């Protein structure tokens, strides 16, 4: 039996097409990139999240000379969220980046890495709520995904442990 998995997402030409709340959150994610510690890659990532209760939390990537020791902005944010607002659902997370290297730009959306996708899916499972993702660079197109877990079909979760 062959089956297929697919999901929908929205693409906007730029931040001006987003509703006020989403545009504001993306602006905060873009500003947050300035606080990233990325001296090796010069690839600054910032994330901003809005909880259901209206509070916000932020995260940036943190590199290390021993590359496996670094941590992505999304997981920094989720760790902070877990400490500051234990089990409070995140309504929306905006993720942006600023590529300061001589190659490439910061004008198109990027997607969370596999490890972050797993962490995002687990946070959704833990809080029993989908988390919208807004993905964009410092300018240009914006992608909105209704649930982070859509990025990781067949994820490993608590049911896998039973």
Catalytically annotated residues: 74
149, exposed or middle or buried, with CB in 10 Å at 0-12, 13-18, 19+?
A: buried
Sheet hosting strand 43-51, strand order edge to edge: 10-12, 142-145, 132-136, 90-99, 43-51, 56-60
Look at strands 142-145 and 132-136 and give their pairing: antiparallel
Compute the distance between CA of residue 107 and CA of residue 139 in angstroms, rounded to an integer.
Answer: 5
Closest CA to 58 of 32, 24, 27: 32
Closest CA to 86 of 47, 57, 46: 57
């Amino acid at each position: 039996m062959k089956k297929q998995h697919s999901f929908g997402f929205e693409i906007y030409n730029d931040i001006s097409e987003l509703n006020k709340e989403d545009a504001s959150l993306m602006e905060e994610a873009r500003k947050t990139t300035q606080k990233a510690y990325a001296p090796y890659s010069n690839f600054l990532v910032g994330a901003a999240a809005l909880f259901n209760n209206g509070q916000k939390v932020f995260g940036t990537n943190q590199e290390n000379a021993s590359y496996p020791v670094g941590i992505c902005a999304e997981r920094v944010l989720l760790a902070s969220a877990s400490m500051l607002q234990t089990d409070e659902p995140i309504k929306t997370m905006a993720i942006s980046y600023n590529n300061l290297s001589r190659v490439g730009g910061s004008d198109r959306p990027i997607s969370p890495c596999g490890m972050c996708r797993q962490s995002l899916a687990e946070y959704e499972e833990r809080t029993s709520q989908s988390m919208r993702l807004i993905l964009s660079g410092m300018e240009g197109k914006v992608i909105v995904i209704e649930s982070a877990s859509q990025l990781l079909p067949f994820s490993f979760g608590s049911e896998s442990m039973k």
